[in-house]
A and B are shown apart, each in its own frame.
Chain A
Amino acid sequence: MAVNEREVRRIAELARLGIEDARVPMLVDELNRILEHMDVLSKVDTGRLAPVEGMGAGAMPLRHDAGPPIPLARTREEFAPELRDGFFTVPRLATHGDPDGGMESGA
């Protein structure tokens, strides 16, 4: 399989990476030279195999529903690019269904 310029632009948008137009053909070329080596995988018979899901030996450890929260050694003011009244702020979005969001909330 190989990617074309349109697909590279699409995935760059998905990944929120601003790519200059001039760089797109180069990226198409680089990605395809990598993807070419991946094609070998499609020839491997993995019919009955389960994919690896979750590394490590055990099952999910569960923690008790109690604090205290992990403390922060520095205040938000010290690492936030922009903070107002305790809020992180970003350029203003329309209230609903903003083109950038997809969803109003993650749920």
Chain B
Amino acid sequence: MSDDLLSMTAHALGAAVAAGRVRAVDAVDKSLARARELDGGDAPLNCFLTLADPAAHDEAIRMDGGHVDADAPRPLAGVPVAIKDNIATHTLPTSCGSRILHGYVSPYEATAVRLLRAAGAIVMGKANMDEFAMGSSTENSAYGPTRNPIDPSRVPGGSSGGSAAAVAAGITSIALGSETGGSVRQPAAFCGVVGVKPTYGRVSRYGLVAFASSLDQVGVFGRTVDDAALAFQVIAAHDPRDATSATAPVDDYRVGDGDLTGLVVGKPAEYFPESLDPAVRDRSERALDALRSRGATIRDVSMPHTELAIPVYYIVAPAEASSNLARFDGVRYGLRVPQPQLRDMYEATRSQGFGPEVTRRILLGTYVLSAGYYDAYYRQAQRVRSLIAADFANVFSSGVDVLFTPTTPTPAFPFGAKSDPYEMYLSDIFTVTANLAGVPAMSLPIGRVDGLPVGGQILAPHFGEAAMFRVAYALESVLGAEAHR
């Protein structure tokens, strides 16, 4: 077998394995070998915190031996997938990139992982991430940063940096990540792959370790739009174990004939500010031209509350996080730093278990919820959040089908470039809005600047993923190789 297996799309590989033309074990072994190779050596990518080695190999052998339920459709048969380390798997540790969960193996599995496995996918490893998904560069992992496969001196983005890098480096064709404020789309843009954030509620959060519950969604990465759509199709489902899971019917996302006639694409002025990196602006305009060439109408729109998104996000998300992370107390699982007094045990466990950014956000979140500050910060932020959501509702009710923007203001930055926390937060400026409003959004490659990938973002109304993918299919086909040049 050759490297062809690694360059196959998930769709093609799944079909080939299901048809018996390719052995799952060959695909998995290739994937594991490439992961070992790239995560080793002098400049390791450090995509994975754990490799399912040899478990994934054994699982593939069993699959090839037919010891699985052959009747169920398995569109991802034998397809190796990388799972972000904050998504619970009962075969591999789930550390969330944190010392506090070092070695913790979940006694149950996330719904999204269960659905991937049911579709035939083979979990080949847990991907590195910013600790508890707090970060935009994967520099906040307790287990060392992940490098950007396109330029190892730069960050892969974050927080799902390991998943994005694994797909970009050709280790897997698809991966699961998670989004709270852009943690799939931003690394997808930085690494030159496709990244999807679903409508809030479209994918179950059951088993996704909570960062900010009202913003979190499991998302997918793919090397192609179709692979991302395929993986998304598999995990999009109602789940009775998540009270915020949507019951709306799941559409067919893998349709797109490339024709966008009659489609109106909004171009929000606030996402194309004066200060935008000129090269990013140029690639974005080129993408808009591509959409026009397929019959879409581009309409200038305004979303006036966009500039408030980062302040709102950095109140709401830390507030929820401060509560969500209270369960890491050393009592039932995870790290415990023994002390004679309970209170000291709590404090020692949590201060040694959490890294600096997590500590900062817990403090910030505790503060904005505390007596005397709740109304000024948290409640006011939730009010302004409704204005941001209204911006989307207004533009989508005015005849605009989808929005197109750059995913990030700049391409991937070098390690250590953003030492000021707030400056780092600003790299999410174009992505947090979708999480605040709960709308679906995705990033796909639209070209490169000095060899670094640039991502274009498509945003759609709630449960409008089918329209979003339709535009993405068209854009990908028009740009062709230019998307990676």
Say whether B240 contacts A56, CB under 8 Å. Answer: no
List the one stretch of B44-52, B380-388, B406-414 in contact with chain A. Answer: B380-388
Q: How many residues of chain B are within 8 Å of chain A by beta carbon?
A: 75
Instruction: Please name all residues of chain B whose beta carbon is closer than 8 Å to the beta carbon of A99 when the two chains form the complex.
Output: 343
Asked if B214 and A52 sit within 8 Å, CB to CB, the answer is yes
Tell me the chain B residues, 102-151 only, with Cβ under 8 Å from chain A. Answer: 104-105, 107-109
Interface membership of B98, Cβ < 8 A: no
The answer to whether A79 touches B310, judged by C-beta atoms less than 8 angstroms apart, is no
Among A30, A34, A41, A78, point to the contact of B380 (Cβ < 8 A). Answer: A41
Note all chain A residues with C-beta closer than 8 A to B312. 41
Within 8 A of B (CB), among A52-87: 52-58, 60-61, 63, 70-74, 78-82
B315 near A38 (CB under 8 angstroms)?
Answer: yes
B379 in the interface, Cβ–Cβ < 8 Å?
A: yes
Chain A residues within an 8 Å CB radius of B214? 52, 54-55
Interface pair B90/A74, CB less than 8 Å apart: yes
Q: Does B27 contact A (CB under 8 A)?
A: no
Cβ contact within 8 Å between A49 and B350: no
Taking a contact as CB atoms under 8 Å apart, the answer to whether A15 and B105 are in contact is no
A1-41 contact mask (Cβ, 8 Å, vs B): 1 or 0: 10100011011101111110000000100110111011011
B89 to chain A: closest CB distance in Å?
10
Interface SS of chain A:
loop
**A63–B245 Cα gap in the complex (Å)?**
13
**Given A3-B367, A18-B350, A27-B360; A41-B384 close (CB under 8 Å):** yes
Min C-beta distance of A74 to chain B, whole Å: 4
Interface check A93, CB cutoff 8 A: yes
Q: Are B243 and A60 closer than 8 Å at their CB atoms?
A: yes
B395 lies within 8 A of chain A by Cβ: no
A107 on the B face (CB < 8 A)? no
Known: A34-B314, A58-B247, A73-B90. A81 touches B367 (CB 8 A): no
Asked if B351 is at the interface of the complex by the 8 Å CB criterion, the answer is: yes
Q: Check B387–A46 contact: CB distance below 8 A.
A: yes
Q: B341 contacts the other chain (Cβ, under 8 Å)?
A: yes
Cβ-defined contact, A40 with B308, below 8 A: yes
Q: How large is the interface on A (under 10, 10 to 19, 20 to 34, 35 or more residues)?
A: 35 or more
Within 8 Å of chain A (Cβ to Cβ): is B201?
yes
Q: Does B43 make an interface contact (CB < 8 A)?
A: no
Write out the residue numbers on chain B whose beta carbons fall within 8 Å of the beta carbon of A93. 342
Chain B contacts with A in 364-419, Cβ cutoff 8 A: 364, 366-367, 370, 373, 376-377, 379-387, 389
Q: B318 to chain A: closest CB distance in Å?
A: 9
A25 to B: closest C-beta gap in Å: 14
Partner of B345, one of A56, A61, A71, A90: A90
* B354 interface hit (Cβ, 8 Å): yes
Asked whether A103 is an interface residue with its Cβ less than 8 Å from the other chain, the reply is no
Q: Which residue of A lies closest to B351 (CB)?
A: A18
Contact A1 to B322, CB < 8 A, known contacts A38-B315, A46-B383, A74-B90: no
Q: Which residue of A lies closest to B389 (CB)?
A: A52
Residues of chain B with a CB closer than 8 A to A53's CB: 382
Q: How far is the CA of A51 from the CA of B383 in the complex (A)?
A: 4
Please measure, in the bound complex, the distance between the C-alpha atom of A99 and the C-alpha atom of B370, giving whole angstroms: 19
**A41 contacts B382, CB within 8 Å?**
no
B residues less than 8 Å from A72 (CB atoms)? 107-108
Known interface pairs A51-B379, A52-B386, A73-B108; A16-B311 also in contact (CB < 8 Å): no
Binary interface encoding of chain B residues 276-298 relative to chain A, with 1 for a CB under 8 A from any of its CBs, else 0: 00000000000000000000000
Chain B residues with CB under 8 Å of chain A are 90, 104-105, 107-109, 200-201, 214-215, 240-241, 243-248, 307-308, 310-312, 314-315, 322, 326, 329-336, 339-348, 350-351, 354, 359-360, 362-364, 366-367, 370, 373, 376-377, 379-387, 389, 420-422, 425, 438, 462
Q: List 18 A-B contacts (CB under 8 A).
A: A8-B363, A11-B366, A16-B329, A31-B364, A31-B367, A38-B381, A41-B311, A41-B384, A51-B379, A56-B244, A58-B247, A72-B107, A73-B90, A73-B109, A74-B105, A79-B104, A80-B332, A88-B331
